[in-house]
Amino acid sequence: MRRSVAFRSFTLAFVTVLFLTASASAAEIHVMISGGLTAAYKALVPEFERKTGHKVSTAYGPSMGTTVNAIPVRLERGEPADVLIMVGYALNDLATQGKVIADSRVDLVKSPIGIAVKSGAPKPDISSADAVKRALLAAKSIAYSDSASGVYVSTEMFEKLGIAEAMKERARKIPATPVGEIVAKGEAEIGFQQISELKPIAGIDIAGPLPDELQKITVFSAGIASTSKEPDAGRALIQFLTSPEARAELIKSGLEPIRSSTTH
């Protein structure tokens, strides 16, 4: 009897130690992420949490800009962050400012720019640069994002097509809100954004990616915030997003994975 009591006490103590060890190793990871990876990320995070026991808390916002949710603005406010997932060159800017651990950057995916119209509307011919130019000059209203794709469209592509002046009256930047939502509401005939950001939006049709001579591929990268309280858990999440297990979901959302790790 005494042995049985002792055994039960030992077992209880052992289980308690295991529980406390597991609790101690589980972390809450604070992530800030921009729109390009959001759809795939939302699908992948539950599996990461199940496998590791970590809890992921996520804040969404543009990689750049001055809107209240923009990642640089969130960091300036002192919001907690362990992992930043955003446009690669914007992440580099934060590293230069000392807000990201410089050698923590991992390039995750390449993301092309697409063109969207309201569901049911005729899809414009976008098979060449000249075709895109004709479509834009024929449209009464055009929308582009306040992040990487929009910066390129408004400051480089319009110039390249020789229509910068004509676009001043009909093209507008959409801060914070997904461009697809503006197109779905009928507030713009044509919308430009990363294909991965257009795909989740209901009420639009994607006419296709920009033709090669106009396309601008954006690299989305991940890094560890300098103020991170859980850098190791953050690195585990980044490693999971580069794993073969994540690849199919990334491709499904319109992204091209850059690298795969064999372990996670």
Distance CA 51, CA 61 (A): 27
Token pair 């729109």 is found at 35
Q: Pairing relation of β-strands 28-33 and 171-174?
A: unpaired
Distance CA 39, CA 7 (A): 50
This prediction's pTM: 0.83
For the chain, the structural domain boundaries read 26-110+218-257, 113-209
In this predicted structure, what is the pLDDT of residue 156? 98
Local confidence pLDDT in tens for the 264 residues of the chain: 544 544 444 444 433 333 333 444 799 999 999 988 999 999 999 999 999 999 999 999 999 989 999 999 999 999 999 999 999 999 999 999 999 998 999 999 999 999 999 999 999 999 999 999 999 999 999 999 988 999 999 999 999 999 999 999 999 999 989 999 999 999 999 999 999 999 999 999 999 999 999 999 999 999 999 999 999 999 999 999 999 999 999 999 999 999 755 433
Topology of the domain comprising 113-209: D-Maltodextrin-Binding Protein; domain 2 (3.40.190)
Q: Which of 187, 193, 206, 181 is nearest to 117 (CA)?
A: 206
Tens digits of residue pLDDT in 81-125: 999 999 999 999 999 999 999 899 999 999 999 999 999 999 999
CATH of domain 26-110+218-257: 3.40.190.10
**What long-range pairs does 19-23 form, CB within 8 A, spacing at least 24?**
22/53
